[in-house]
Each structure stands twice: as structure tokens, then as C-alpha cells.
Amino acid sequence: MNDVSERVKGLAARDPFVIFLGAECVEAGPGTAVVRMMVRDQHMNFNGTCHGGVLFSLADAAFGLASNSHGRLAAAIDAHIGFTAPVRVGDALTATAVELNRSNRIGTYRVDVRRNDGGVVAAFTGTVYITRREHP
């Protein structure tokens, strides 16, 4: 379990786009991952609220880590996101991914993105194709 957590955090720490966003994996286990970030000026859209792409990217990062936590390389096939509340500069966001189902080839994950006040701001579902390749 500890090994899984260390390995998954290591994947996040060398993910260029996760770093570029300013996000960080704070917890992980078999089939789960928790990723956090602080919303900053560069994450806004032209309406002055957090860009949908930022919320998706955060959820997608948690999904990617959770689906790769078992050691085999998993590639995202598709994802759906519902935006349930606006997000502002200064909000701290937490994306929590859980495994809903995993067969030999396909895995399905759900991710909730929450503000620090606990409100759900995005509901994400993602599917991966699981390859035969092991992570290095």
C-alpha cells in the first residue's frame, strides 16, 4: 500500500502538465488518488471564473493516477464532466478519484472535485483502456 502511494506520487511529480498547473498528488492507493491545487489568476476564463479546462485537468490528473496505480499502463479513452458550481481565484480544490470497475482491459473511475468548504464543483467519470505494458 505504501509502495503504491509512493509510486503514484512519483508519477505525479514527473508529470509536466500537472506541475505546469500547480497541482500535487497528496494521497494514493490501489485504484484511488487525491490531487490538490490552488486556483490562481492564470486559471481564469474571460468571464472571471475558473476555466472549465482547469477543473477537467485536475480531475483528469486524479483519474490518470488512480487508473495507473496498479502498475500497468492505462490510457484514457473518454471522459465526461458536469460543472456544478463556479470556482474563483483563491479556492483550494481537491479531486478524489475512485475505481468503480476494472476488468482486464477496461477501467471506469469517478472523480469529485470539491472546494475547501466541501462543495462539489465538478463531477467527472472517465474510462481507460488497460495495456499490457508495465510502468518502468
- Positions in 28-57 near a copy of itself (CB under 8 A): 41-47, 51-54, 56-57
Q: Is 27 in the site for a copy of itself (CB under 8 A)?
A: no
Q: Is 14 in the site for a copy of itself (CB under 8 A)?
A: yes
* Rounded CA separation 54/67 (Å): 20
The nearest distance, CB 5 to a copy of itself, in angstroms, is: 16
The 10 Å CB-count burial string (b at 16+, else e) for 10-43 is ebbeebeebeebebbbebbeebbbbbbbebeeeb
* Rounded CA separation 115/58 (Å): 12
Binding residues vs a copy of itself (CB under 8 A): 11-12, 14-21, 41-47, 51-54, 56-58, 60-61, 64, 68, 73, 75-86, 100-101, 103, 105-106, 108, 110, 120, 123, 125, 127, 129
